[in-house]
Chain A
Amino acid sequence: MSTQPAMINRYRWHELIGIYAGIFAFLTFILAPFVEGFLVSLKPLSQLFSSPYRFIPQNGSFEAYRTMWVSVPGFARYIFNSFFISTIVTAVVLMLVVPAAYAFARFKFKGSGHLLGAFLAVNMFSGAVLLIPLFRLMRSFGVLNTYFAIIVPGVAFLIPSAIWLLRTYMMRIPKELDEAAFVDGASHFYTLRRVILPIAMPGITVVAITTFIGSYAQQFIYALTFNSKTEYAPLPVGLFAYFGRQEVIWNELMAASFVGIAPAMIVIFFLQRYLVSGLTAGAVKQ
């Protein structure tokens, strides 16, 4: 019996070829734009704007990675802004979501199911649907053209998935732990802080990472609409600085893109286990 799982997963050579061909085709689609983008960043502009098209750069260089800082002196600021905004967003989301997820995971009360549903429904309006009233709201708060105009809506639309993920995680923590603490005379609040939070830390870490990356990846529409000051612009909006009056400086735009995503890429590489497990928690527990 014990050899069966190994046997069942053994592939014949033509099956192996088929699988690798499938994976190759799939990953080509996923990675082609990055490969092309990287090669573009190595080509001088004159080579980019010439026909016929050549995939491999001729005497390519990393020149664009130097000149990009000269063409757009504020570029470092955009990266800082993206990091700063994502950090604040993540902190606020965690402060709101950790207690809420605990409440949803542990307490059943009248309307708790509907309330959870209402939170998940927030996802529906994450696009441009609420742009007009949000614009008016931000204006009446007096925060247009500040960091807050990007942070405040950003937080709202990252709450639903964070609650869902963390609730799933907390539901796996044995209830006996809370009850034991309660029998010992601990208050609800004490139980949450001293018993649940330490155990839930891995789950909270996953939520923090996915929230941070979600925020880093999606700062576009609010930043575009609610902020017109370059000193607060995050990376996705800041990259438009490489769109010249006549022509886009494509090699520098691509170089700047890679410099901008390098931190995210490093994060993925080291934390991909957390990312996948965060996703898995949501997938399996439906």
Chain B
Amino acid sequence: MSVQRSTVIFAWILLLPAVLYVTVIVAYPLVDTFILSFTDASLKKTTNWVGWINYEKIFNSTFAEVIIRTFVWTFFSVSIKMIIGVFGASMLNSAVPGRALFRILTMPPWIVPMAIGIFMWGWMYNGQFGMISGLLQRFGFADGPVAFLAQGSTAFWATVITDVWIGVPLVTLYMLAAMQSIPQDLYEAAWTDGAGRFYRFRRITLPLLVPSLITMSMLSLIATFNSFDIIWILTRGGPSGETTTMIIDTYHTAIGSKKYGEGAARAVLICIFLSIFCLAYFRVTSRLSSGDNR
């Protein structure tokens, strides 16, 4: 047996446990979802093949609205996360006293169990007794209590803000790491030529951050699209469905109403959207890396 071949066999032996695990716990359920989506599976004993009916039902329902809402929700959440994250990272990247402490103080929303942060926001959003409504009234921005989670429009933004809050630490620390990997001599050269701080940020930092920005937006996009805990705990998708995203709707259908088949069809649609995002991401990154030879 050649050295080459024994190496390949050894590599596969090392990979086998992880590959098997992911096959059983992720790949098989994925296939199962596709199969289920063509059945009327529910709590009943018998399951029948129903063809495309579950998909037809989806498009005859209000699901189109849910899809649009999911995209709008995700778009705003990811964009705001990226903006605040880059802002925070550039602040924390300044060489000012205390920045090590500031970096630690950025982490809690990311590290703490999500549910706990969400409870805290839930209380702050409380209309009668909550902090935000109270402060708005105190400073004259509102005449009476604002029940953020009880009205569709405010509930939508309330869930977005909470999602941003949970996602910002990761974006910030990731962007900070990317900023710190930019060679210092670039800044020094620009500084020698008399470039100001803002000019250096715009002409050196931002362009060199583009690959990291794309990677982070992508990771953030997937996480946000899949976001469940925040909306579930704050509003359960309400009031009257105005914060119901695809994931929440899938959960209501499959786990709440026990319509496994219809839920699976929704899950398949989510998978298709996620795959499109991933393909787009790979196209963009491969173009980026072939564009320059660094």
Contacts and interface: CB of A to CB of B under 8 A. Distances in A.
B121 A286 contact: no
Contacts of B17: 95-96, 99-100
Nearest to A112: B11
A121 to B, nearest CB: 7
B180 to A, nearest CB: 8
B120 A8 contact: no
Contacts of A136: 32, 260
B247 interface: yes
A130 B267 contact: yes
B250 A15 contact: no
B247 A127 contact: yes
Contact of A127 (B12, B15, B88, B227): B227
Nearest to A116: B15
Contacts of B191: 4, 7-8
B228 A103 contact: no
18 contacts: A15-B197, A23-B96, A31-B105, A115-B19, A122-B26, A129-B267, A133-B32, A134-B29, A137-B28, A159-B18, A218-B114, A225-B255, A253-B119, A260-B113, A280-B180, A284-B178, A284-B181, A286-B215
A30 B109 contact: yes
DSSP class of B's interface residues: helix, strand, loop or mixed? helix
A109 B177 contact: no
A195 interface: no
A48 interface: yes
Nearest to A189: B10
Contacts of B95: 9, 11
Contacts of A100: 14-15, 17-19
A102 to B, nearest CB: 6
Given A130-B33, A134-B29, A283 B174 contact: yes
A260 B11 contact: no
Contacts of A254: 119-120, 123
Interface string B1-36: 000001110111111011101101110111011001
Given A51-B128, A260-B113, A265-B108, A123 B25 contact: no
Interface residues of B, number: 103
A132 B260 contact: yes
Interface residues of A, number: 105
Nearest to A26: B88
B151 interface: no
Interface stretch (A64-72, A198-206, A268-276): A268-276
B243 interface: no
B165 A115 contact: no
A217 interface: yes
A83 interface: no
Contacts of B177: 276, 279-280, 283-284
Given A125-B271, A220-B113, 9 more contacts: A20-B96, A51-B128, A55-B131, A126-B223, A130-B33, A157-B26, A213-B111, A217-B110, A217-B114
